[in-house]
Amino acid sequence: MLVAIDIGGTFTDLMAFDEATGRFAQAKSLTTPAHLVQGIIDCLQKSGVD
């Protein structure tokens, strides 16, 4: 699984590619400046990436 994350001032974006299945997944969540990891966690949950 390849995962790319872009943490911007307003949104955190996630793009993932599963090499085994050829499946792409994407998600967007609000950036949480005080806790940047929360935006990443939100994106992972929304995208269904394990």
DSSP secondary structure string, 1-50? -EEEEEE-SSEEEEEEEETTTTEEEEEEEE--TT-HHHHHHHHHHHHT--
Residue-wise pLDDT tens digits, 25-37: 999 999 999 999 9
pLDDT of residue 17: 98
Contact 29, 12 (CB under 8 A): yes
Residue boundaries of the structural domains of the chain: 2-47
| Confidence (pLDDT) at 50 | 77
Please say if the pLDDT value at position 13 is more than 90: yes
Return the pLDDT at 10: 97
What whole-number percentage of the chain has pLDDT above 90?
A: 94
Q: Is the pTM of this model over 0.85?
A: yes
The predicted pLDDT at position 24 comes to 97
Residues in the chain, overall count: 50
